[in-house]
Amino acid sequence: MSPPFELLGSHSCFGGEQRFYRHDSAAIGLPMKFAVYLPPQAIQGPVPAVLYLAGLTCNEETFAIKAGAQRVAAELGLAVIAPDTSPRGEAAESLPGATDSWDFGIGAGFYLDATQEPWRTHWRMESYLMNDLLPQVAEQLPVDGKRLGIFGHSMGGHGALTLALRHPGRFRSVSAFAPLCAPMQCPWGTKAFSGYLGDDTTIWLEHDATVLMQHQPIAPYPGVILIDQGLADKFLADQLHPQLLEAACAAIGQPLTLRRHAGYDHGYYFVQSFMADHLRHHAQQLLALPSSAEAPAR
């Protein structure tokens, strides 16, 4: 049995609880923090959950404070797990560049396992999520570890797409807000990949959602992938490239609902605006509820 989580705070919210925890991670080698919203239905037994991955400059509190998800999660009976984006603490922050969140350091874990020094010891976010956090949450909290969805925003949208494709069968549903869809073709992605993974671009292929989709033998998520993208997003043209993932999905017959929204930017006002749609998208596949993924763009 894993060591128990350390409860840092708990707040009543829409009949459920918004909790914040710290725990030791074998993969990271340092303590990690995460948030979890438990809906009122969790009192009666394990509930399905969605794993939310945040973007650059965020931490485990960002989603709980800014996304406005708890009311709808409570209605649907979904738990929402939101980890920190990167290792923290003295050992992590002592690395060169680690305190600069725009320099693939703190706040920019990119949800992969680094292979290059000085990052390889602690920057192991993929192993942390898949082998430490999710199994321990299912073991210690009223969460059904066999009914999981995954979603995220920006860098976290990249993480949601790549982890969903790299771990077939682990997640039943996937969605993203303004994700980095082809990180090998954007400045953020190439900088992070070169720092974390080195100069061998054949390794980069394993962490690029568009490339991973191109190599799927069949559509991996027949229940539809949902992506929302703001057309006033200043990062759309240079960093995000949703059209490339759209083409890759079309080529293999992967159902994709890619909604483009005039006037919306990259921030959490955008995320809040469509959060209910994403939670219902996951509930449709985790709880067999009617889908709202085809709702018209606003």
CA distances 205 to 71, 199, 200, Å, are 38, 12, 10
The DSSP string of 21-58 is EEEE-TTTSSEEEEEEEE-GGGGSS-EEEEEEE--TT-
Token readout for 218 is 């069949």
Token readout for 224 is 């539809």
Which residues touch 199 (CB under 8 Å, ≥6 apart)?
A: none
Identified catalytic residue from 23, 122, 153, 266? 266
Is the bond preceding residue 220 a cis peptide, omega within 30 degrees? no
Instruction: Give the per-residue pLDDT at 97.
Output: 61
Instruction: Give the per-residue pLDDT at 57.
Output: 87
Query: Could you confirm whether 266 is annotated as catalytic?
Result: yes
Give the closest residue to 261 by CA, choosing from 251, 250, 273, 249.
Answer: 273
CA distances 16 to 1, 8, 56, 273, 278, Å, are 26, 17, 28, 22, 19
Query: Could you confirm whether 84 is annotated as catalytic?
Result: no
Instruction: Give the per-residue pLDDT at 80.
Output: 98
Instruction: Give the per-residue pLDDT at 105.
Output: 47
Instruction: Give the per-residue pLDDT at 227.
Output: 98
Instruction: Give the per-residue pLDDT at 103.
Output: 53
Identified catalytic residue from 233, 241, 277, 278? 233
Residues of the chain with pLDDT under 70: 91, 96-107, 289-298
Strands, E assignment, the chain: 6-13, 16-24, 31-38, 47-53, 79-83, 143-153, 173-177, 225-230, 256-261
The rounded distance, in Å, linking the Cα atoms of 151 and 105 is: 22
Instruction: Give the per-residue pLDDT at 289.
Output: 54
Identified catalytic residue from 101, 154, 173, 175? 154
Query: Could you confirm whether 261 is annotated as catalytic?
Result: no
Instruction: Give the per-residue pLDDT at 96.
Output: 62
- Which amino acid does the sequence have at 211? V
Q: Do residues 36 and 145 make contact, with C-beta atoms less than 8 angstroms apart?
A: no
29-64 pLDDT per residue, tens: 999 999 999 999 999 999 999 999 999 889 999 999
